[in-house]
Structure 1
Amino acid sequence: MKKTTKMKYLATIGLSALVLLASCKSEPKNQANDAGPSSTAETVESENQKKEQSILEKIASANGIENWPRVEELKFTFNVDREGNPHFERSWIWKPKTNEISAMTAEDTLIYNRNEMDSTVQKTNANFINDKFWLLAPINFKWDEQSIVTEHTMETEAPISSETMQKLTVTYDDQGGYTPGDAYDVYFGDDYIVREWVYRKGNQAEPSLITTWEDYTEKGGLKIAEMHQNEEGDFKLYFTDVEVTTE
């Protein structure tokens, strides 16, 4: 996608509708101990194949997914600044082991458990899914592996920087979720750290939103991009007060 074709993509920030996801092996052992050189080589090759990670795994690993089981509590504030609109923010405390959520806005605080939701918290939970997805999308894609289709391109031009990067197109299935069928074009380097992405609502051809992934910080072994902004700089979605408590 060339820069000359870009336009301003963000309509009213119905934030929960911006970026919502569609959900929220073993090999036989070699038993020939006295195998010859050919068999040994085949075993090594088999082990190497077994260890090879998928693109989703490489991206998730680069962002610290192996440390996720140690996370006891995740705090963060989701902020949006858009030209012509007042600053918007909401804060969350997530205890992933129990799935307890504390939702905090300027008006009130709501505590609920995602394992025991009723209709009164559906809108709040949609907001949580949206904000958590922006925070952890590189890991979230791996969690959602059964609900997505991916296509990997080795070299392509990133939409904002025009740098040559790898691209992974992630398309969610069209069943269930808050915004089924959405697609993301994710741009990353050889380190598998996401640098830019394109959100395409309902897998439409034209982008709905294009932003950077920048200002990475490491919290509790997780790599988190704290800033996302469009090319013009008149839309910024960012995180503050990020805290990760581990066991």
Structure 2
Amino acid sequence: MKGEFFLAALFFGIISCNNSNKTSEPSLSETNLSQVDSVQYGDIPENARQIAEACGIQNWNKVSEIAFTFNVDRDGNHFERSWIWNPKSQDIKMVSSKDSVNYNRSKMDSLTMKTDAAFINDKYWLLAPFQLVWDKGMEFSTKENVVSPISKDTLSQLTIVYPNDGGYTPGDAYDFFYDKNFRIQEWNYRKENSPEPSLTSTWEDYKDFEGIVIATMHRNNSNNFKLYFTNISVKTGN
């Protein structure tokens, strides 16, 4: 189930709203979501931990439900789909203009696997700082005093490269450009660890939802592409 519904699809093709077509777009991480309520840093670099903590990963174990609408605007076209996710039970509901699907990640069939691929993508955009801690097997590297690709600000850069085998993002790389407060300001996606980015966007309009801090807006350099989140709600407790 590799290569469906991921970053390049969103950037180049999601506006067609034809989710049934297979493409060669890059894929994203498939975290074991049944374990994301525990924070185990292990060999995670200090700056990756600080990026995750700057967005409230230490509060994640309190979250009982998170809901959000994932939106993409490109060249006058709009696409959206909404999610309700219970991280502890792994119950998920997706609602789009064409469909509504309820499923549990421990009991998936071919239909729900397709929906789950879309969920993994949208969740990655929503919670990428947490993926730095949740995901396994990546290679990390850091550069200081780097000129960021869009704003041209001088920032720090954390690069992660996923393993070549397995998961949703084999061999792909991400460059996170973050400030002195360990808050991501921009990122690159580089398919198969290519030298040139396949996609670059901002991280902006951060908002706090019950201690979970989310960048609600992402734009490209020419500002003809926006990926953003609305209708975000976080419930805590049982």
The TM-score normalised by the length of structure 1 is 0.80
> RMSD between aligned alpha carbons?
2.0
Structure 1 counterpart of 2:51:
59
Separation in structure 2 between the aligned mates of residue 17 and residue 63 of structure 1, nearest angstrom: 32
The TM-score normalised by the length of structure 2 is 0.83
SS at match of 2:12: coil
Cα–Cα, structure 1 residues 12 and 53, in superposed 2: closer, same or farther, change >3 Å?
closer
Can you list the C-alpha shifts for 1:192-236, whole angstroms capped at 9, x where unaligned?
000000011111111111000000000010110000000110000
CA contact (8 A) 1:56 1:142 kept: yes
Gaps of 5+ in 1: 1-8, 25-51
- Matched AA of 1:81: D
Question: How big is the shift at 1:178?
Answer: 2.5
Structure 1 counterpart of 2:3:
none
Structure 2 counterpart of 1:11:
12
The reply to whether residue 108 of structure 1 matches residue 99 of structure 2 is yes
Structure 2 counterpart of 1:218:
208
Structure 1 counterpart of 2:90:
99
The reply to whether residue 170 of structure 1 matches residue 160 of structure 2 is yes
CA contact (8 A) 2:162 2:169 kept: no
| Counterparts of residues 1-247 of structure 1 (less than 5 Å) | 10-13=11-14, 20-24=27-31, 54-84=46-76, 86-144=77-135, 146-247=136-237
CA contact (8 A) 1:10 1:208 kept: no
- Matched AA of 1:66: Q
Identity fraction in percent:
47
Question: How big is the shift at 1:121?
Answer: 1.1
Counting matched residue pairs gives 210
Question: How big is the shift at 1:173?
Answer: 0.8
User: Which segments of structure 1 move beyond 2 Å, counting only runs of 4 or more?
Assistant: 9-24
Separation in structure 2 between the aligned mates of residue 110 and residue 53 of structure 1, nearest angstrom: 37
- Matched AA of 2:129: P
Greater radius of gyration (CA): 1
